[in-house]
Chain A
Amino acid sequence: MKRQIFVLFLTILLCLNTACTAHNKMLTQKKGTVLKSENENYLLYPANLYRKYISKIDGNRCSMHPSCSSYSVDSIKKHGLFLGWIMTCDRLMRCGGDEVKLSPKVIINGEKHCYDPVSANDFWW
């Protein structure tokens, strides 16, 4: 039983650790409108939950812009739950990897981030 609890804990930890902070929202959108529409969409509850409670403690460590949770919200909004989930998983695996070398850089709060919005990953559809 202890072993199973440990595995479950490890799985959740793995998922949460790779998901990155999301204080930085899409630059082109107004703060108020983004929050309102996100709260209205129940599909985004997990991402919002993470952003509201875990990310604040965890800190802003994502090397990408928009951050992984923002990317997740954007992709679910744009392509629905199924594709949004797949795109989120893809992004979580790429976060901080080779994409950092290949994508253009954007300066956010004095720090260089790798610019990788949803549009850079669905342009070929």
Chain B
Amino acid sequence: MALKIYGSFYNRFFFVFILLCLLPVLLFLSKSIAEAEIIEEPKETLIINSSMQLDLAERFFLNGDYYRAAGEYKKFIFFFPEDKKAEHAMYKVGLANYNSGHFREAVASFTKLIDKYRKKGFSMNTFPAKAYLMMSESYMQLSESGPAEVSLHNLIVETGDTDVKDEAYYRAGWINVETGDWKKAEGQFDNISSQNLDKYRVPKLLSDLEQRGSIPEKSTKLAGIFSIIPGGGMLYCERYRDALVAFLFNTVLICTAYEAFDNGNCALGTLVSVVESGFYMGNFYGAVSSVHKYNRNAKKNFIEKLKTGNKIKLRAEVKKKGFELVFRYAF
């Protein structure tokens, strides 16, 4: 019995021992087979070179898939930083961000490009010049006219090319027009060199800008004074319906309060007076607010008219020959 037990124990021990010995061999064999399978699978190796990577990015860009395009351009810059097209790719990253409406990212991309490839006296066809212009455009899209103007100022300081300077002066002039800083705008347009005066139609632009005196303007003080009679200020701002409503509303409430006090009902009179005081002050507020809205709209209309008749559309889109020039003239 004891021998039997010992024999079975011995057999089991022997079996486990054999298994343990075989285990590394089995593991090694399975790994080798797996590796052999992986290695055997790809029959062709694809090596992506710089032009292929750039083509892919350009394809995404042309199809309007700016998010992917920006990613592919970034991959290009990462894998081929020394490629002569890296500068172009960096610019396109900014442009893809701009086109997809990510203006803050666009500004960051253009700043990066300028910092890396800045050279003294760069000309119009260089990427830093274009980046400066697009950076200014991006800021304008963010409604930040100050930084937009600063970008153009920096471009003017850094470039040695007259064409680039004139372009920057022209754009800066329009930024000043947008903000209603007419004098500064005139100064910017005046800085454009004589060789480019006709290109930017500066004489006509300046003469049209002179007509800014004809922009109808209402006075807030007058609106306030007229509002002493309820609705008077609104009438002054050519808001006839609002004026009538304000007049009737205030008149009814004032008469009600008067009647209440006249009949010795002070509680009612006070209540109506409290309500009326809000409407009476609201009448002043509305009049002054309407003046500001009126003046803003008048200025906006003048700027739109000025743009339609004079503004040359300039695109800092990279073409091999430089800038695309579009002129629109309203008859």
Closest Cβ–Cβ distance, residue B204 to chain A (whole Å)? 31
- A4 with B293: CB separation less than 8 A: no
List of B residues within 8 angstroms of A123 by Cβ:
292
List of B residues within 8 angstroms of A88 by Cβ:
278, 282
Which A residues fall within an 8 A CB radius of B?
A: 3-4, 7-8, 10-11, 14-15, 85-94, 97-99, 102, 120-121, 123-124
Q: 5 nearest interchain CB pairs?
A: A89-B282, A90-B282, A124-B292, A90-B286, A98-B239
Q: Quick one: CB contact mask for B54-91 with A, threshold 8 Å, 1 for yes?
A: 00000000000000000000000000000000000000
Which B residues fall within an 8 A CB radius of A?
A: 234, 239-242, 245-246, 249, 252-253, 256, 259-260, 263, 265, 268, 271-272, 275, 278-279, 281-283, 285-286, 288-289, 292-293, 297
Assembled-state Cα–Cα distance A86/B265 (Å): 26
- B241 with A86: CB separation less than 8 A: no
Closest Cβ–Cβ distance, residue B16 to chain A (whole Å)? 65
- A94 with B242: CB separation less than 8 A: yes
Contact of B283 among A8, A11, A93 (CB under 8 A): A93
Closest Cβ–Cβ distance, residue A75 to chain B (whole Å)? 11
- A8 with B289: CB separation less than 8 A: no
Assembled-state Cα–Cα distance A102/B291 (Å): 13
List of B residues within 8 angstroms of A86 by Cβ:
278, 281-282, 285
- B282 with A97: CB separation less than 8 A: no
- A93 with B286: CB separation less than 8 A: yes
Cβ contacts A to B, 28 pairs, < 8 Å: A4-B260, A4-B263, A7-B268, A8-B271, A10-B256, A11-B256, A11-B271, A11-B275, A14-B253, A85-B278, A87-B285, A88-B278, A88-B282, A89-B278, A89-B282, A91-B282, A93-B249, A93-B282, A93-B283, A94-B242, A94-B286, A97-B242, A98-B240, A98-B242, A99-B242, A102-B293, A124-B289, A124-B292
Q: Taking CB as reference atom, which chain B residue is nearest A83? A: B285
List of B residues within 8 angstroms of A85 by Cβ:
278
Assembled-state Cα–Cα distance A87/B282 (Å): 6
Assembled-state Cα–Cα distance A15/B282 (Å): 14
Closest Cβ–Cβ distance, residue B301 to chain A (whole Å)? 13
Assembled-state Cα–Cα distance A123/B292 (Å): 9
List of B residues within 8 angstroms of A87 by Cβ:
282, 285
Closest Cβ–Cβ distance, residue B286 to chain A (whole Å)? 4
Assembled-state Cα–Cα distance A7/B258 (Å): 12
Given contacts A86-B285, A94-B242, contact A15 B292 (CB under 8 A): no
Contact of B239 among A8, A91, A97 (CB under 8 A): A97
Assembled-state Cα–Cα distance A8/B257 (Å): 10
List of B residues within 8 angstroms of A3 by Cβ:
263
Assembled-state Cα–Cα distance A89/B245 (Å): 12
Given contacts A11-B271, A124-B292, contact A90 B285 (CB under 8 A): yes
Assembled-state Cα–Cα distance A91/B246 (Å): 11
**Contacts beyond the supplied A90-B283, A94-B245, A124-B292: 7 A-B pairs with Cβ under 8 Å:** A8-B271, A15-B275, A86-B281, A86-B285, A93-B283, A98-B241, A102-B293
List of B residues within 8 angstroms of A121 by Cβ:
289
- A4 with B256: CB separation less than 8 A: no
- B241 with A97: CB separation less than 8 A: yes
List of A residues within 8 angstroms of B239 by Cβ:
97-98
List of B residues within 8 angstroms of A89 by Cβ:
278-279, 281-283
Q: Taking CB as reference atom, which chain A residue is nearest B265? A: A4
Assembled-state Cα–Cα distance A91/B278 (Å): 11
Assembled-state Cα–Cα distance A56/B108 (Å): 50
Assembled-state Cα–Cα distance A93/B281 (Å): 12
Closest Cβ–Cβ distance, residue A96 to chain B (whole Å)? 9
